[in-house]
Each structure stands twice: as structure tokens, then as C-alpha cells.
Amino acid sequence: MVLTSRLPLTAVALLALASPSFGQELNALVWCDHTDPSLVAPFEEKFGVKVNLKEYEGTAAGMAILDQSQPGDWDVLVIDAVDVGRAVEAGKLAEIPADQLPTADFFPELVMPANNTVDGKTYAVTEKFGYNTISYDKTKVDPADMQDMAALTGGKYDGRIGIYDYYLPVLGLVALGQGVNTADINAETLPALKEPLMKLRAASKQVSDVVSAQTALATGEVDIVVGGGEWLTAVLAADNPNLDWTIPKQGGLRWAQSIGVVAGTTQPDLALEFVKYIVSPEGQARLATASCYWGMPANAKAGDALTPEQKTVLRWDEQPEFLKRAQLYPIPDAATDTAMQDMWTEMLNQ
């Protein structure tokens, strides 16, 4: 008999402690950019509610938290856009009225109906996007080299490369470098990615999380970060204008995050209002420039609320070209996902 996943008692106890209380409070399970106080403050003020934010990293961790929570514990969920279907399948997201969402104002590529809707019903809406590609210090590397992924493993930049520690985008980039589209990564194509991944690792100095990657690039510890992008360099732009990013000729990955209402919420109307606020031009501008990391807003009208300087850092005017050259994250099935993670772990311990 297959039993439902259950965490050890301690984890349950911890989650119980972390679980929010009810009342005039909205409980949102989010990514770190939402924890910027300036983002939620206008909503709290307008609706007279307190927004409790719990940060998580990785869909598996978010799903585990929801699994261990009671219906009604959480009202809003921010999730990787490519994982919305997975959350819907697990019964974690509630349908939201598409006609109340300003998707007509979105960059067309960011409406993402294939991801945010299931069986014609809308369960989430894209809120922010960006690219996992190559960040670099343009005073230390030849920007022309960064247009070709092959330059990374050609020997010229050995020991000067950092790799962003997230297997999905980096394996996606490696796949693009091998001429494999991210949508085609599966059990058959994955083994061919091992050698180039290990080669990239051999040429790199470190594999690190967001903060460490930023620190390494800012301090000159590494000159290139594979898997980086505007989200990595934008917050550093003011202090170090030499940091740049590009999408090489083989392409880059487009990340996108969606927001939805959690199934079983006791306050669906308030939760929907929060979602609407986040995708409004004002909310989008604040989210795009949130302190944890910057990223492009899905709503094109947010451009009116951003300063010219902010738009320059976000490469606002270059988005049409970037969007053409970027592919979505891989969406592996469970077995391929496990194989990808095992390959990644092996690479870390190479």
C-alpha cells in the first residue's frame, strides 16, 4: 500500500510552529523577493491586513510544506511557473478568475497559458521573469567570448568560473550548448550531458548559491558565473557597473515565477486581491526591483512605474530579442528529475 509522504515528527513540529495563525492575516508561501517590506506594505495598508511571508527555496520544499500543513494554513503560493501544473495535480492550487487578471498587459510570452492553466482553468499568473545565462565582469573577460558557451571550457577561463548551484537551469544551459532543447531533456538525452557538465565543473572554481555567487563575482573571486543573469548582477550594478550578462548564441534559459491562490484557503477573496496587487503595475515595479533579486515584471505596464535607470539595468528595451532566444526551464518527469539531481550531486563531488 502506498502511503502519503510524512515528515519526521520534529519536522512536523517545526512546521506547526512556522504555520501561520488566522484572523486579519494573509499567509503567503513565497520566494525571497516577496519578503522586501516595500513590496507588501502598500497592500497591508490598503486592506488593513498583515501579510505573513514564509520563504522557501525549490518546489520540492514548497510542496513538502504544503503537504504538512492543514487546509487554510496558507492563502497564497509563489511557485516556479513550470511547476504550476505539478502543484495543480497535487491539489495545492485553487482556480482563479482569469478575467480579473491583467494578462492583456503582459509581455505575450509571459502569459504562459500552457503552464498557468490546466484543462482551460487558470490556477496561477506569471509575476516575474528573467534569464539564467552568463554573468561576467566585462573588464576581466572578453565580452565577445561570452557569446559562445564553448569558450567557457576552452581553457582560457579555467579557474575563473563560478557555477550557480541549481541543477535545472545549469543543466538546461549545458543542454543548449550541446544543441539539445530544454524541452527535450529526458532519460535518453540526459546521459550525453554528463561529460560537458563535468568539463564545465573542471573549468570552474566554485559552485555556489545566490549570495556566494554574487560575492564571488563582486570580489573578483570569479569572473564568470554560469547560470547567472540580471537577477545576479542587477543588485550589484550600482556598486560595480563592470558586471554584465548576456545570452550566448546557443541561447539561455528563461525563468519565470507564478503566483496563485492556495486550495483550501479560508479567505480566497483576500488572497485573490493580493495576487491582483502583485500583478498590478505598481506591485510589478516593486517586485521587479525587490531587494533579494531583481527581475523583469511580467506586466509590461510596470515600465511606467520604473525609473529609466531601473529599466536600463533590467535591459527593458532588449527584451523582445532576449525572449526570442531563451527557452523555458526543463520540466523533467520524476525519474529524470532524480537522475538530473544525482548527476548534479556527482558533479559537486567531482
Q: Which residues bind another protein (CB under 8 A)?
A: 2-10, 57-58, 60-61, 63-64, 159, 162, 165, 167, 205-209, 211-212, 215-216, 219-221, 334-335, 337-338, 341-342, 345-346, 348-349
Separation between Cα atoms, residue 89 and residue 93, nearest integer Å: 9
* Min dist. Cβ of residue 341 to another protein (A): 5
Closest CA to 257 of 57, 70, 71, 22: 57
335 contacts: CB under 8 Å, gap ≥ 6: 187
* Min dist. Cβ of residue 216 to another protein (A): 7
CB closer to another protein out of 208 and 319? 208
Residues in the chain: 350
* Min dist. Cβ of residue 1 to another protein (A): 9
DSSP classification of residue 242 = T
* Min dist. Cβ of residue 170 to another protein (A): 12
Between β-strands 243-246 and 50-55, what pairing exists: parallel, antiparallel or unpaired? Answer: unpaired
| CA distance from start to end of the chain | 38
CB closer to another protein out of 57 and 195? 57
CB closer to another protein out of 62 and 248? 62
CB closer to another protein out of 327 and 341? 341
CB closer to another protein out of 143 and 220? 220
* Min dist. Cβ of residue 23 to another protein (A): 29
The phi and psi torsions of 123 (rounded to 5 degrees) equal: -115, -15
The phi and psi torsions of 132 (rounded to 5 degrees) equal: -105, 110
Place of cell 495545492: 92
Lookup: cell for 5:
509522504
CB closer to another protein out of 70 and 349? 349
Separation between Cα atoms, residue 107 and residue 104, nearest integer Å: 8
Residue 225 · residue 166 · CB < 8 Å: no
* Min dist. Cβ of residue 70 to another protein (A): 19
Residue 288 · residue 310 · CB < 8 Å: yes
Element (H, E) at 249: none
* Min dist. Cβ of residue 65 to another protein (A): 11
CB closer to another protein out of 56 and 74? 56
